Structure 1
């Protein structure tokens, strides 16, 4: 349904110097990322803080412009449409986003009804009774009682604000929903309820999800495929169960080893990462981004970019020395 090809986002660093001939350093937030999302599929995006997950999702949602690359959606390259103009593009209704901070993403001057109604007015042109009916239908789908629609954000609980954010996103009946850690700010008990809600909405409405999360247990539970990011690049991708059961990239293995399983003792040695991450500012294109922290790294990794390998059908990893055996 959506295919991103060689997407990159680079930010200039520091102040421009008057009459300086040298170009400004560039922070490579996302670097040559390719990712596909199928119809009705849930793709998980994982990686440590600062790896570029949010920047990637904001490009896919067309909230910011990529430096280079393509985003094919419905046969059209959305990357060629400036983000400022995309707000009124027909595809805007088809790609919606649920933000990490439910409270911060809702206008404090809007009631819950007005927050859900805003995209319907702008993108669907609804007014009057048709607008009210659509808002109430979206709220009902998200388990938000009708009597709460007149309340302002400060009058709602964390879970209720999360439901408002989800109802606003699904009100236009999108085909792709991008979820940027939608449960990270919620209590554990509320997280479970919201995750069940998202699973039910996906089945009922047939949407595709791009699900960004730090909680690997949640990703393993609800995602069909998973993509692992490290310093702006996707270092491994494949079916979620296969990637978690038998990681091919050492970084993925380290993430999987960090998953806590209550009541179970981990068998075998864990991969522990040492050293500091490389700087994302003008990184060496002829070196592996994971070099210096990788327990399997050799001199080759510091002087040659890792090749893309396919340890199994439907899987890919960027590594000179992939883990090809289970465990």
Structure 2
């Protein structure tokens, strides 16, 4: 796929403009977001993402358009799990409602930066070494197995290495001071819980980038499409968070569905690597990938809502890549 400098410039310009808009709404005007506002912004961002895919397919061909929509669907589904962890972080640190937008906007900006770096590195590795398809595939399969094993657990946010290091190295206060990250108390500069929350969000973004980039490279090897799918999937997270905040608890099979998606894409990457060595090895086409991913996510959502209706006490979990403590976390930000 030939992508001109002008196409890159226009795409990045649109993304930066949307990011600036999100920043203005979410960080510069702190307020609690209602359902109506969240719905309007969610529809807006999803509409922009779909419009981009239609334009891409019309100009570059629908093979690439299909790859974009498959990548967008993968990234959007992983973003929902990311949102689940954000909810856990907000609850654990009792982040005031009017400052949650600032935290989410920071998380989106940081995620875009991290994923852009990982995309550049991933694309270079795949171009130089064909065995990286095998490495990425096995990584995704391992992640899928771990996520399935610990599908009924939530990550221990306060056990995050970055959070522990921050609290150990920097003096912290247990009280929020508006939207400030640091304050001066008794003549000494200390960080607020909001600063610690941003560190936790950053650590979460890093972990999700390590999983999501190999996953999207499983449906397309075009760096432009990988970047666009990631960016447009991330841009709507702030509004989507407030829209689905109450629905997340009902997606009881979310982790199971994501584990199946990651395992499928991992298998696709392994088969692609095998095909580079043995041409008789089968490959999974992008249209088939799009259908399989869509079917898995649809069944996951319908089965989750049906389970929640039958058993109102059933609660969804974000899933974890390692065993966590069985104790239930108490909010620690007050």
Query: Is the TM-score greater than 0.5?
Result: no
Greater Rg, structure 1 or structure 2? 1
TM-score class, shorter-chain normalisation, is: under 0.3
Higher relative contact order (CA 8 A, sep 6+): 2
The TM-score, its normalising length taken from structure 1, stands at: 0.26
Which of the pair is proportionally richer in strand?
1
